[in-house]
């Protein structure tokens, strides 16, 4: 294959050469425009680029500025009102909540004071309030007090032994009963009240301590069992003692039955033969129960018993027959029988003593 300049010129004319050069120049210009557009696109995001395909816009350089801090508080400066005291030796205080100790819950709001609690002042009774009792079942109650003593109108104190745990309303009723009814009764007897014998007050149990029975008012702190009242002169008024005057016991009976909704004493059942039960149970239509038999006093001297029959006395049948006058025929027959039996030994029967 030969190559020569004439053949080259014939195949590659100047027109073709110029066309190829123009195409290369055009491609170079297009490439430069495309690169310029991409460089400009980095500065301004295209509104049609909804998927974020375009190259991200470079953020301007952030120059960190130094923020001036406040100067430390001098040690001699006064402490702020809400500032906590410094921790000694770097140890946290015991009551200060930390990161691992949650803050304590707020204290519950205090319960409002009842009208009974406001009325039962120290001038009437020594009865401090105690927390509510929540026992098993329905046992317990609210607005409770510990009745320790009752103040009489003359400022004398009647001690409650032992102290009774009662509802405020029940304690107030006991105080009114002693102050208004029993104090005048003791004065009429020539003395004053010194002590109240408390047999039982609050106790979580059924009625009469019977298993399965209904809840007693004692379990609600709404009852008091009283055995007696001791006087200042040493005399005692036992409410169930038959040696005490019947008139005195009847006065006590009328006073308690007019103030309490339930009164159980001797005669109600054998559980209350040695004390009197008092409570303020609420019933329909304000129904009340007063069961207390005031028995007659026992005789001071026991009646005389008949003397025992002597051993040598004849049997009662023989003595009874001898007191009856025999008829004439019977008398003759009685005289004939010994004559017929003369010389015969009669068996001796010892005298017998009958049981009474």
Most confident of 40-54, 126-140, 153-167: 153-167
The token pair at 301 is: 């001297």
pLDDT confidence of residue 356 = 44
Q: For the segment 286-313, what is each residue's pLDDT rounded down to a tens digit?
A: 999 999 999 887 766 666 677 777 888 7
How large a percentage of the chain has pLDDT more than 70?
63
pLDDT confidence of residue 253 = 95
| Separation between Cα atoms, residue 199 and residue 195, nearest integer Å | 12
Q: For the segment 209-238, what is each residue's pLDDT rounded down to a tens digit?
A: 888 889 999 999 999 999 999 998 888 889
Other beta carbons less than 10 A from residue 135's beta carbon: 14
> Average pLDDT of the chain?
77
Q: What are phi and psi of 134, to 5 degrees?
A: -120, 90
Find, among 62, 64, 45, the residue nearest to 53 by Cα: 45
Burial call 40-63: b when 16+ CB within 10 Å, e when fewer: eeeeeeeeeeeeeeeeeeeeeeee
Q: What are phi and psi of 88, to 5 degrees?
A: -70, 130
Is the pLDDT at 83 greater than 60? The verdict is no
DSSP string covering 323-347: HSPPPHHHHHHHHHHHHHTTTPPPP
Q: For the segment 104-138, what is each residue's pLDDT rounded down to a tens digit?
A: 566 667 778 899 999 999 999 999 999 999 888 88
Query: 120 burial class (0-12, 13-18, 19+ CB within 10 angstroms)?
Result: buried
| Separation between Cα atoms, residue 144 and residue 172, nearest integer Å | 11
Higher pLDDT, 300 or 174: 174
How large a percentage of the chain has pLDDT more than 90?
41
Helix, strand, coil percentages, rounded to 5, for the chain:
30, 15, 50
Three-class secondary structure of residue 181 per DSSP: helix
């Amino acid at each position: 294959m030969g190559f020569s300049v004439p053949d080259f010129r014939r195949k590659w004319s100047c027109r073709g050469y110029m066309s190829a050069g123009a195409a290369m120049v055009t491609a170079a210009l297009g490439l430069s425009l495309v690169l310029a557009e991409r460089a400009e696109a980095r500065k301004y995001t295209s509104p049609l680029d909804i998927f974020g395909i375009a190259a991200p816009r470079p953020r301007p350089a952030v120059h960190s500025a130094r923020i001036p801090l406040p100067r430390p508080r001098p040690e001699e400066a006064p402490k702020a009102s809400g500032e906590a005291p410094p921790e000694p030796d770097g140890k946290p205080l015991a009551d200060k909540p930390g990161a691992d100790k949650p803050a304590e819950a707020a204290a519950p709001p205090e319960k409002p004071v009842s009208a009974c609690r406001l009325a039962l002042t120290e001038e009437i009774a020594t009865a401090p309030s105690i927390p509510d009792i929540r026992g098993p079942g329905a046992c317990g109650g609210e607005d409770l007090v510990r009745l320790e003593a009752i103040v009489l109108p003359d400022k004398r104190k009647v001690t409650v032994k032992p102290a009774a745990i009662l509802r405020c309303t029940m304690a107030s009723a006991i105080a009114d009963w002693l102050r208004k009814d029993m104090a005048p009764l003791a004065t009429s007897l020539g003395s004053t009240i010194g002590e109240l014998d408390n047999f039982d007050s609050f106790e979580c149990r059924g009625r009469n301590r019977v298993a399965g029975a209904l809840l007693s008012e004692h379990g609600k702190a709404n009852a008091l069992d009283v055995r007696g009242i001791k006087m200042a002169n040493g005399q005692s008024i036992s409410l169930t003692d038959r040696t005490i005057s019947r008139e005195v016991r009847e006065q006590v009976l009328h006073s308690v039955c007019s103030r309490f909704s339930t009164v159980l004493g001797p005669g109600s059942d054998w559980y209350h033969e040695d004390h009197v039960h008092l409570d303020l149970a609420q019933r329909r239509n304000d129904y009340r129960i007063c069961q207390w038999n005031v028995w007659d006093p026992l005789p001071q001297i026991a009646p005389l018993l008949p003397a025992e029959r002597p051993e040598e006395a004849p049997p009662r049948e023989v003595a009874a027959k001898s007191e009856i006058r025999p008829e004439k025929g019977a008398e003759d027959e009685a005289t004939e029988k010994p004559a017929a039996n003369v010389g015969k030994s009669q068996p001796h029967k010892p005298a017998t003593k009958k049981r009474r």
